[in-house]
Structure 1
Amino acid sequence: MTLSSAAAPASDADLANAALINRYWSVRQLSAALCQPLEIEDYGVQSMADVSPPKWHLAHTTWFFETFLLRPYLETYLEFHPSYGYLFNSYYESVGDRHPRPQRGLLSRPTVADIYQYRAHVDEAMAKLLSRQADHPAVAELTALGLHHEQQHQELLLTDLKYNLAINPLRPAYRQDVAVVKCACPTPLEFVGFAGGLYTIGHQTTDFAFDNEGPAHPVYLQDFALANRLVTNGDYLEFMADKGYQTAAHWLAEGWAMVQSEGWQAPLYWEQRDGQWWMFTLGGLQPVNLLEPVAHLSYFEADAYAQWRGCRLPTEAEWEVATARLPVEGNLLTTDHLHPQPASGNRQLQQLYGDTWEWTQSAYLPYPRFRPAPGAVGEYNGKFMCNQMVLRGGSCVTPPGHIRPSYRNFFPPSARWQFSGLRLAKG
């Protein structure tokens, strides 16, 4: 080949475009793959108001691309169905009315086949839009937001599905081939100290982050220490055996009211059979493994356990400072365990990413100088900054590439159906 006929090297913009297109297909295909083990009857079940049927998750993430990208930026786009905007909007007031959240499981139509056709229709149109994304500078940024949004729903799809299956008296497994890891070497709980001082937290790179992760800002911390691993099932059973759920002194007032009104006696998905504790997992009912991190705790339970141990939960600033320079790796979705795993290895701080989300004692509030984005996408995070607590670190069903040190998850303090656990702190 002569020099004149050789292909010109790809520009940085071309490489970025290609990477975004590849990422789009990878994320979209994973959502469908996560649904492959489902029976058709599983797609429409909604066992409480806070969870959504798998069919709805598949449709809502598709609606996001249709609403925020295709309608405004692809002139030739024809919507798939005129009522889908109403059915699959979640909470975007500025976009329009929406179907009531607690009634999502009552929608026998559109069918599962309809939803997969909807996804194919939108994917075809997105391929056209992304092939000429340079025409609209906002397209790449909004596509990245849409992909991280879909990754959030991939995690929600699995946690919601776990709740739906656990309600079934048959205790059916999502997958029969989920591996159960046996570990005979417990990791002693120790504390790792950190010096106080002035630190900067919040997102500080040009990579993607949600708006609630910034602006970066200084915080002053006193000396503190974090436990080297997550609290285990065995640790938590000691709290239960010491009448932790019967002792009001350990609990915040609202948490104690929840214990009494809801009859909490153990983490969600735990049940006793013939004097032994079992837990429901995505692989079905399994004996409680004492070395695995305890999961499916509310903030109230995590805080009560920490009080019982004479410790506390970390603040989100402490957690971020302690983890900022460590690799983002752990038992995340692609390890395919779909369940928290025992601590292992020699690193001082273990299980920082994956396994379970870690409750912090920090209320979910805006950082200094935070301003929501203009328009409907500004409703993504900012309007929930009330009556929620921050969790850090991701879980065993968090997709890799979605979590980072500055990531702020948030849930009401009574929420239990997520893979939520705790790490102790002192100081």
Structure 2
Amino acid sequence: MSSTGTDVEVDHEALRRQALDALVAARERTALLTSCVEDVELVAQHSPLMSPLVWDLAHIGNQEEQWLWRAVAGRDALRPEIDSLYDAFQHSRASRPSLPLLSPGEARAYAADVRLRILDVLERTPLEGRPLLDAAFAFGMIAQHEQQHDETMLITHQLRKGPVVLTAPPPPAPESGPLPTEVLVPGGPFTMGTSSEPWALDNERPAHPREVPAFHIDTTPVTNGAYLAFMTDGGYADRRWWQPEGWAQLREHGIAAPLFWRRDGGQWLRRRFGVTEQVPAEEPVLHVSWYEADAYARWAGRRLPTEAEWEKAARHDPVSGRSRRYPWGDADPGPEHANLGQRHLRPAAVGSYPAGASPLGVRQLIGDVWEWTASDFLPYPGFTAFPYKEYSEVFFGSEHKVLRGGSFAVDPVACRGTFRNWDLPVRRQIFSGFRTARSAELD
């Protein structure tokens, strides 16, 4: 950023517009996800794994009030009596329907009132001088938070039973012919994480060097067709491939296929946002747990990539030696690069989005499906919690596994080459898939 006053002002105005656009886009998506069903479905709990949609709606408004109205603008609380109701750490998702939540009408009015006030705050607030304000960070953080809850609400829509309420066109067909099965990523150092991405969250920071031995990684995510081969070979019935905890999950819950799949005669069907359809062989497999991904990789004689391997495959440019923001470069994601933003409501067939390939030719690292990695969710060297410990720090440890790359349900504002997601290894309702890797020294 230039040091001249005029140029700084121009940059600040560009940041202001960027923050405004991100907030508006998030709210439009929230409105879509909460207006496409009747109020009775907003207050219902469609799965004990998820909150009622009306909880997410009011939580979005409450977080915006707490961080932008109170912390940034320094104003008095609007609804302090509801803070505890919408504190995700005080109440489990399964218990939230029993709380005295705001009604759908009240939740909409509250979120709209907060947003109207925040638009004025954004217009009047200098975007410098405090860590929360530098580069409009707090506004970007709240836009990302809302988009993350929009993805959560989309998961709830997938779990919901009933008629179709969400539709979208299919993703574009692959434009290229057959691709190599895997790509060799050379060994050596690369820069992992970021210290310069203005809206990067605390767990993405700081940038630091990582030494990664040479490895091979799948050119594309594992497909439904490939996963069916694992199933047909008795993968779910062979204890050899499973971690003990994963095997126990299979036995306890009778798991024998990805979530939302069922067998009908000689074919496999899946349910997708109210539509029942034949499982498409060329799409990335979706709704599998870490244990399922790990078992498939073992069966295939491979393994899940580590988080560092995944990020090196996605960001490292072997010619310049630098780490890019995205596989294709530093430009923000466009529709030609990746399947993001709920545009298609399904993953694209593997081999799609050639413009989004990495320098080494790895495809679809961003968008389509979150990709499980082998790594536990741990802090980077030099990590500092900001602006609160509950975003990342309380989740660090071996209980959670890292997912990378985003999915078709992720908005670009909440998806970067450095963005880290995490979840329990048993989770299957999330939009999760995977790709596999192998060490080059095994050649």
Band of TM-score, shorter chain: 0.7 to 0.9
Match of 1:331 among 335, 339, 345: 339
1:63–1:418 CA distance, 2 compared to 1 (3 A): same
Query: Take 1:275 and 1:301, find their aligned partners in 2: how far apart are those partners?
Result: 23
Q: How many angstroms does 1:42 deviate by? A: 2.1
Q: Which amino acid aligns with 1:331?
A: N
Q: In structure 2, what is the equivalent of residue 84 of structure 1?
A: 82
**TM-score, with structure 1 as normaliser:** 0.88
Which runs of no fewer than 5 residues in structure 1 stay unpaired? 1-7, 92-97
Deviation at 1:257, TM superposition (A): 1.0
Q: 2:262 aligns with which of 253, 259, 271?
A: 271
Kindly provide the CA deviation profile for residues 243-282 of structure 1, in whole angstroms up to 9, marking residues without a partner as x: 1000000111111111111111000000122332111112
Deviation digits for residues 194-231 of structure 1, max 9, x if unmatched?
A: 11112220114242101001111121111101111111
Structure 1 residues 20 and 312 mapped into 2: Cα distance closer, same or farther (>3 Å)? same
Task: Say if 2:47 and 2:156, in contact at 8 Å, map to a contact too.
Answer: no
Q: Secondary structure at the match of 1:373?
A: coil
Contact map agreement 2:204 2:418 (CA 8 A) in 1: yes
Q: Structure 1 CA distance, aligned partners of 2:142 and 2:175? A: 42
Using the alignment, how far apart are the partners of 1:289 and 1:43 within structure 2?
A: 31
Alignment of 1:250-289 (within 5 A): 250-289=241-280
Q: Give the equivalent residue in structure 1 for 2:140.
A: 144
Aligned equivalent of 2:110, options 103, 110, 118: 118
Give unmatched runs, 5+ long, in structure 2.
1-5, 316-323
Q: Is the 8 A contact 1:63 1:89 kept in 2?
A: no
Report deviation, 1:189. Answer: 5.6
Do structure 1's residue 133 and structure 2's residue 125 form an aligned pair? yes
Residue identity matched to 1:101: R
**1:160 and 2:173 equivalent?**
no
Q: Counterparts in 2 of 1:2-17, with a 5 A limit?
A: 11-17=10-16
How far the C-alpha of 1:119 sits from its partner, in A, is 0.9
- Contact residue 158 and residue 397 of structure 1 kept, 8 A: yes
Measured against aligned partners, the alpha-carbon deviations of 1:167-218 in whole angstroms (never above 9, x if no partner) come to x3x5x32425554877799845611001111222011424210100111112
Shift in Å, 1:283 = 4.9
State the SS of the aligned residue for 1:391: strand
Q: CA deviation at 1:287?
A: 1.1
Q: CA RMSD in A?
A: 2.4
Select 1:341's aligned residue among 348, 358, 371.
348
Q: Which amino acid aligns with 1:90?
A: A
Q: Assess, with a 3 A threshold, how the Cα gap between structure 1 residues 75 and 356 changes in structure 2: closer, same or farther.
A: closer
> TM-score normalised to the size of structure 2?
0.85
Amino acid at match of 1:384: F
Mapped to 2, the partners of 1:176 and 1:411 lie a distance apart of: 27
1:190 lines up with 2:181 in the alignment = yes
- Counterpart of 2:3 in structure 1 is none
Match of 1:396 in 2: 408
Assess if the C-alpha contact under 8 Å between 2:65 and 2:77 holds in 1: no
Q: Is the 8 A contact 1:53 1:161 kept in 2?
A: no
Q: Secondary structure at the match of 2:262?
A: strand
Deviation of 1:290 (Å):
1.0
Q: Percent identity?
A: 34
Paired with 1:18 and 1:236, the residues of 2 have a C-alpha distance of 44
Tell me the secondary structure at the aligned position of residue 134 of structure 1: coil
Alignment of 1:344-423 (within 5 A): 344-345=351-352, 347=357, 348-373=361-386, 377-386=388-397, 387-423=399-435
